[in-house]
Amino acid sequence: MALLTLLLVCVLGVLSFGGCTSNPNPPEPGALSAIPAHLPTLIVPSDNVMTPEKVELGRHLFYDKRMSRDGTIACASCHRQEVAFSDGPNIVSTGVNDANGQRNAPTIVNAAYRRTQFWDGRAASLEAQAMGAFTHPVEMFADTVAVASYVRLTYTERWRQVFGDSAVTMKRAMQAIAAFERTIISANSRYDRYILGNTTALSTEEQHGMRLFFSDRTMCSSCHNGPDLTDDNYHNIGLFHHYFDRGRYNVTKDIDDEGLFRTPTLRNVALTPPYMATGDSEDGVMQTLEQVMKHYNAGGTNFPNKDKRVRKLGLTEAEVAAVIAFMRALTDSSVITNSRFGPP
């Protein structure tokens, strides 16, 4: 009975998540055919209506290194399909001229559902996120005039098909990239199959780990909830005694946001190490899910802003292994093999 109750809670959570959103600008037929029925409807910006042609243009631009100043970095350089569009195993991402960034680039799988972008939430949309990386001096540092000329010559027909003219602007280019990124959707893990009714999709150990994950004892799901297992909010999880990278504070300048970072989705989490990676200190970087669970089981490091839910859990070795087994069951291998998401 307890398992049945949990299953119903999970399914209802997915359905209610979908029911609370609306899409005033639905994509054109075929543009998002891969979105599973149990995920929410995407909210598409009114000035960036999606079409298959725009998505395909965006895919080309996403993989094109000529979009960067020195021709060495594409969006795909830090968001690689083989690691679920994250930047593992790099501790911090590398930009033009081999410059090191401040953080490890997050996955963009299901980023279409995030309320904000970047670990500190400084971008309000995928379009703004793309432009931020495109112009940042330690990322792509694009020469916008040179890029516009290159795009105008290289993508002439595709551009006309999408925009109806040859007026190349960086805003339009970022809209195309964002349109492609909105199609990178993942919801075909064994966990998905389980909550949709296939009770044999998870092993006994994985089901035990799922019950622990969604329990009041661990409170994992109080932050990692909904279809993407993220509350889209910001938390301090007790990584350091001092934060050189001040996280959300850098955006809000509110001392209560010191050391707070956006909750990541746990979809495909087994594919996206390292974890907790910033430029603060390699001591805070975790390369394995075992290290992540050790951190949470021990209650983290004391810090004034540490979330009160991060406290000693007292899980046994077998219980920790079960939670890790459940997190591995969140892997959707189709994301890393789907040619629609790969290079042109």
Cα(311)–Cα(190) distance, integer angstroms: 29
User: What is the per-residue burial (b if ≥16 Cβ within 10 Å, else e) of 287-320?
Assistant: eebeebbebbbeebbebebbbeebeebebeeebb
Residues 86 and 99 in one domain: yes
Domain end point (choices 144, 161, 185): 185
Residue 317 placed within a domain: yes
- Residue 98 φ/ψ region, left for φ over 0, alpha for ψ in the -120 to 50 degree band, beta for the rest: left
Residue 16 placed within a domain: no
Cα(318)–Cα(154) distance, integer angstroms: 56
Residues 120 and 251 in one domain: no
**Distance set, CA 52 to CA 28, 76, 322, 335 (Å):** 7, 20, 41, 19
How does pLDDT run across 128-156, given as a tens digit for each residue? 999 999 999 999 999 999 999 999 999 99
In single-letter form, the type of residue at position 189 comes to S
pLDDT band at 71 (very low <50, low <70, confident <90, very high): very high
Closest CA to 214 of 334, 111, 83, 330: 330
Residue 310 has pLDDT above 80, yes or no: yes
Q: Is the dihedral of CA 290, 294, 297, 300 positive or negative?
A: negative
The alpha carbons of the chain give a radius of gyration, in whole angstroms, of 20
How does pLDDT run across 278-296, given as a tens digit for each residue? 655 555 589 999 999 999 9
Q: How many CB atoms lie within 10 A of CB 6?
A: 16
Is the whole model's pTM more than 0.85, yes or no? yes
Residue 180 placed within a domain: yes
**CATH number for position 99:** 1.10.760.10
Cα(31)–Cα(38) distance, integer angstroms: 18
Residue 120 placed within a domain: yes
Cα(55)–Cα(251) distance, integer angstroms: 30
In single-letter form, the type of residue at position 237 comes to I
Element (H, E) at 234: strand 234-235
Torsions phi, psi for 146 (to 5 deg): -65, -40
How does pLDDT run across 102-114, given as a tens digit for each residue? 899 999 999 999 9
Number of domains in the chain: 2
Closest CA to 34 of 337, 340, 342: 340
For residue 169, give its domain range: 31-185
Average pLDDT of the residues of the chain: 89
First to last CA, the chain: 49
**Distance set, CA 237 to CA 107, 176, 210, 305 (Å):** 19, 35, 21, 9
pLDDT band at 54 (very low <50, low <70, confident <90, very high): very high
pLDDT band at 4 (very low <50, low <70, confident <90, very high): very low
Residue 2 placed within a domain: no
Residue 225 placed within a domain: yes
Domain end point (choices 170, 185, 200): 185
CA 91 remoteness from chain centre:
16
Residue 20 placed within a domain: no
CB 35 within 8 A of CB 113: no
Place of tokens 């075992």: 290
Helices and strands, counts by H and E, the chain: 13, 2
How does pLDDT run across 189-218, given as a tens digit for each residue? 999 999 999 999 999 999 999 999 999 999
Residues 194 and 181 in one domain: no
Q: What is the DSSP letter of 221?
A: G
What ranges in the chain are assigned the alpha helix state H?
A: 2-19, 52-62, 75-78, 126-135, 144-154, 156-163, 170-181, 190-195, 204-213, 249-252, 289-298, 317-328, 334-337
Angle, CA 204 vertex, CA 199 and CA 207 arms, to 5°: 65
Residues 176 and 263 in one domain: no
Q: Kindly state the tokens that stand for 56.
A: 């395909």
Residue 291 placed within a domain: yes
Cα(83)–Cα(103) distance, integer angstroms: 17
Residues 87 and 147 in one domain: yes
Cα(47)–Cα(101) distance, integer angstroms: 31
In single-letter form, the type of residue at position 192 comes to D
Residues 217 and 325 in one domain: yes
